[in-house]
């Protein structure tokens, strides 16, 4: 399938990113899997996809806080198959930053993955995307509009991500569509951001559908915006089970 569309997915090795990669691959896309630390997961996913369809997935490591690595990622993504049809800015750092203890390093880290990299990857890849009337999808967050306690830096970065989506939608039209997806409770946070059972239950009580979603819910939404929504741009689709209905 030498004419199959190509998608770059940042943070594509695990969790929501991997679900997006697998879902688009099933629909005939070729996948560029970006990762930072998840080398084993990225390579395993790439091997699995290539076993299903030869020469349909590659991996590229890059630190999205470093401009030269952002540029290298963009270059490899658009030249490997000599085309790019979708940029999915999924990579995201997430952890609490209480005001009393928040650091400049945390600011730089959270803004790098959630705002800096999506902006500069979009800049680097606009020309390639425009050749095939491609699309950019930014994975935002419902907390871009509804602040999460002790997560001020993350929420600010995601609010910027939403505005990035809207401004790029105006600037890149009509050649490139730009939309965002704001997940709710899809996959529970890990490591420093991990929630205990009581905190998880508190969140579930605020969701109209009374359950968490799953990464495939986001993957299906990505596929919809890429292939079945040619007249949608500049929008943020909340995939949250109705959590934002909570007053």
What pLDDT digit, counting tens, does each position of 73-92 carry? 999 999 999 999 999 999 99
Answer yes or no: is 35 within a domain. yes
Residue 1 pLDDT: 57
Answer yes or no: is 247 within a domain. no
The fraction of the chain above a pLDDT of 90, given in percent, is: 84
Q: What is the domain count for the chain?
A: 1
- Residue 244: pLDDT band (50, 70, 90) is confident
Answer yes or no: is 148 within a domain. yes
Residue 247 pLDDT: 55
Q: Is the pLDDT of residue 193 over 80?
A: no
Q: Please say if 231 is a catalytic residue.
A: no
Range of the domain at 54: 6-242
* Average predicted confidence (pLDDT) for the chain: 94
Answer yes or no: is 80 within a domain. yes
Which residue in the list 35, 95, 154, 231 is annotated as catalytic? 154
Answer yes or no: is 86 within a domain. yes
Contacts of 26 (CB under 8 A, 6+ apart): none
CA-CA distance, 77 to 197, in Å (whole number)? 40
Q: Is the pLDDT of residue 182 over 70?
A: yes
Answer yes or no: is 49 within a domain. yes
Answer yes or no: is 1 within a domain. no
Answer yes or no: is 62 within a domain. yes
CATH assignment at residue 12: 3.40.50.720
Residue 16 pLDDT: 96
- Least trusted range by pLDDT, from 12-16, 111-115, 196-200: 196-200
């Amino acid at each position: 399938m030498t004419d199959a569309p190509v998608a770059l997915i940042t943070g594509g090795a695990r969790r929501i990113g991997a679900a997006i990669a697998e879902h688009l691959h099933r629909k005939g896309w070729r996948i560029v899997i970006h990762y930072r630390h998840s080398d084993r997961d990225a390579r395993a996913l790439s091997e699995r996809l290539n076993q299903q369809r030869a020469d349909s997935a590659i991996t590229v490591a890059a630190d999205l806080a470093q401009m030269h690595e952002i540029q290298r990622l963009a270059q490899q993504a658009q030249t490997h198959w000599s085309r790019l049809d979708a940029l999915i800015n999924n990579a995201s750092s997430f952890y609490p930053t209480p005001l009393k203890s928040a650091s400049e390093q945390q600011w730089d880290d959270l803004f790098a993955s959630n705002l800096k990299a999506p902006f500069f990857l979009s800049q680097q890849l606009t020309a390639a995307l425009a050749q095939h009337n491609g699309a950019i999808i930014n994975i935002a967050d419902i907390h871009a509009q509804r602040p999460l306690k002790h997560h001020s830096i993350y929420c600010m970065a995601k609010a910027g991500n939403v505005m990035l989506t809207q401004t790029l939608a105006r600037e890149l039209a009509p050649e490139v569509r730009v939309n965002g997806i704001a997940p709710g409770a899809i996959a529970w946070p890990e490591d420093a951001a991990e929630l205990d059972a009581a905190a998880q239950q508190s969140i579930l009580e605020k969701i109209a559908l009374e359950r968490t979603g799953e990464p495939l819910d986001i993957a299906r939404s990505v596929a919809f915006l890429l292939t079945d929504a040619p007249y949608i741009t500049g929008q943020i689709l909340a995939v949250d089970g109705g959590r934002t209905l909570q007053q």
